Amino acid sequence: MSERNRATEFRESVSGTNVELGYAGIKTFLKSDTRDVDDVADVDAAVLGVPYDGAVSNRPGARYGPDAIRRASGWWAYLSAYKGGLTNMRTEKTVDFDDLTVADCGDVPVFPMDSETTAESIAAHVATVASQAFPVLLGGDHYCTFPAFRGFAEGAGHDSVGFVQIDAHTDTVSESPVFGSEFHGSSTARIADSPYVDYDSVSQIGIRGYESPDFFEFADETGLDLYTMRDISERGVGPVIEEAVAAAAEDTDAVYVSFDIDAVDPSVAPGTGTPVPGGLSADQALEIVEVLGAHDAVGAADLMEVSPRYDSTDGTQRLAAYLLVTLLERAFAE
161: Cβ–Cβ under 8 A, 6 or more apart, which residues?
Answer: 149, 152, 153, 196, 197, 201, 252, 253, 254, 255, 256, 299
Please indicate if the annotation marks 171 as binding a ligand. Answer: yes
DSSP 8-state class, residue 32:
P
| 322 vs 72: CA distance, rounded Å | 8
Q: What is the pLDDT of residue 18?
A: 81
| 299 vs 135: CA distance, rounded Å | 8
Please indicate if the annotation marks 262 as binding a ligand. Answer: yes
Please indicate if the annotation marks 295 as binding a ligand. Answer: no
Mean pLDDT for the stretch of residues 131-146? 96
Q: Over the stretch 224-254, which tens digit does the pLDDT of each residue have?
A: 999 999 999 999 999 999 999 999 999 999 9
Residue 179 pLDDT more than 70? no
Per-position DSSP letters for 249-306, written without gaps between them: HTTSSEEEEEEEGGGB-TTT---SSS--SS-B-HHHHHHHHHHHHH-TTEEEEEEE--
Give the residue among 121, 134, 105, 64 at the shortest CA–CA distance from 320: 64
Q: Answer whether 293's CB lies under 8 Å from 330's CB.
A: yes
Give Cα 53 to chain centroid, integer Å: 15
Please indicate if the annotation marks 142 as binding a ligand. Answer: yes
Residue 88 pLDDT more than 90? no
User: Which pLDDT band holds residue 76 (cuts at 50, 70, 90)?
Assistant: confident
Exposed / middle / buried, residue 79 (Cβ in 10 Å: 0-12, 13-18, 19+):
middle
Q: What is the pLDDT of residue 23?
A: 84
Hey, what amino acid is at 139?
G
Domains and CATH numbers, the chain: 22-332 (3.40.800.10)
Please indicate if the annotation marks 193 as binding a ligand. Answer: no
